[in-house]
A and B are shown apart, each in its own frame.
Chain A
Amino acid sequence: MNMIRLKNIYKSFNSLKVLKGISLEVTQGEVVAIIGPSGSGKSTLLRCLNRLETIDQGTIEIEDEILATEGADGRCQYVREDKAREICYKMGMVFQQFNLFPHMTVIDNIVEAPMVVKGIKKEVIIPEAEELLKKVGLFEKKDSYPSRLSGGQKQRVAIARALAMKPDIMLFDEPTSALDPELTGEVLKAMRQLAQEHMTMLVVTHEMAFAREVAQRVIFMDYGEIVEEGTPEQLFNNPIQVRTQAFLKSML
């Protein structure tokens, strides 16, 4: 089953063209890593999937439901707000800056959206949230405020918070880039575990080792285009494009 289908996505910030005709399909259970230099448009691509950015042209389909497509006038048309919101919360997202709610404890961060958005009762969602916290190894922190946690712990809470909405797809926007190097391991471990459970994942990352080990497909982006894609072996061992070769060399 196709989880994500992008056709010919264009996106500009004023005169700056950030995405220039991106097409991409992601199937169920697939883990896709997106790599590329900063400014290549990889984060923007991810943010276009759940309407954090709106596209100018092209079609976005999530689980065979149209989120945005070209209208009769050739301009991009989004579906109605409530419909769009319903489509988008099937995708959980983890941010570089965590974006936890600082005024809520860890457990309240996790149960907030299921209660408010889905109307799930507190006594039903609390045990689920506690399970998720055990899974990311933070059960004992459930009553702490986010400011008391390390970066790695915050990011694991953010993962649990996203999972509490029972998403079909998880989007990771440079989840380890704001972390001290010794803390990236615990976050990558949680992500690796998700991949093993066949979660569909789209990961924008600078962690080449993670992309190589966990992803089934690696996409290299530069200047708003997909330059090259393939299995990790193909892309990391035998890159075809000159730009890919140069980028990989610079990452060593």
Chain B
Amino acid sequence: MEKILAMMGPMMDGANVTLQMFFITLVLSVPLGLILSLARMSKFRPLSFLVETYIWLMRGTPLMLQLLFVYYALPLIPYIGIKLPDFSAAILAFVMNYAAYFAEIFRGGIQSIERGQYEASKVLGMTYVQTMRRIILPQMIKRVLPPISNETITLVKDTSLIYVLAMNDLLRTARTIVQREFDMTPFVIAGVCYLAMTLVLTWMFKKLEQRYAAYDE
């Protein structure tokens, strides 16, 4: 028992890193994803092509490669290259990657809204921005909640990839203790922590879906 208590300190520090990665990535990548989805649907071809290419790159390469690239290769690029601390590098890579996935989810949601909604808004004199903000996006949110929930839960677990930058998140901390003490308990604790986090998320998304159930389509 005493042994477990001694493990809990570093384990909780690790969980703290995991949670920070999760929250900061989520808070930044959701709005960025929305902006990217609108740019992707832009009638200005060069812009939509640029974003399409970006999304292809982000979804077409492993997140771990992107992490390694931002941390090790970015500083080597002449002029623009900067050396980021490990946490910032990890956040940058995660936000860029997750924004691409969110962008595609949002695009699917926006494109599923009937044309009649745009027409009704236009006829009533609303501008593009008013139409998006008041009519299209609120309806889009309801439709994308299930895939966003999926992606968010995946993000909790993907944060464990930052071990490649030698950052001590929940999983790497657990592994370090296991290797030092030859005791598998830290793995169990880590598993329970991940399950607790995803349980909270699952519950929150369920509440959100219930709130949006007020209206049918």
Contact = CB atoms under 8 A, between A and B. Distances in A.
Interface in B147-168: none
B214 A165 contact: no
A147 B216 contact: yes
Looking at B124, B130, B135, B214, the one whose CB has the most chain A CB atoms below 10 A away is B124
A125 interface: no
Q: Which 10 A-B pairs have the closest CB atoms?
A: A89-B125, A113-B124, A99-B116, A99-B120, A147-B216, A117-B125, A145-B215, A93-B123, A102-B217, A103-B139
Nearest to A47: B119
Nearest to B141: A103
Interface string B120-137: 101111110010001100
Interface in A76-123: 85-86, 88-89, 91-93, 95, 97-104, 112-113, 116-118
Nearest to B131: A116
B123 A50 contact: yes
B175 interface: no
B120 A116 contact: no
A86 B122 CA distance: 11
Interface in A221-251: none
Contacts of B214: 145
Contacts of A146: 215
A138 to B, nearest CB: 17
Contacts of A112: 124, 134
B117 interface: yes
A63 to B, nearest CB: 15
B81 interface: no
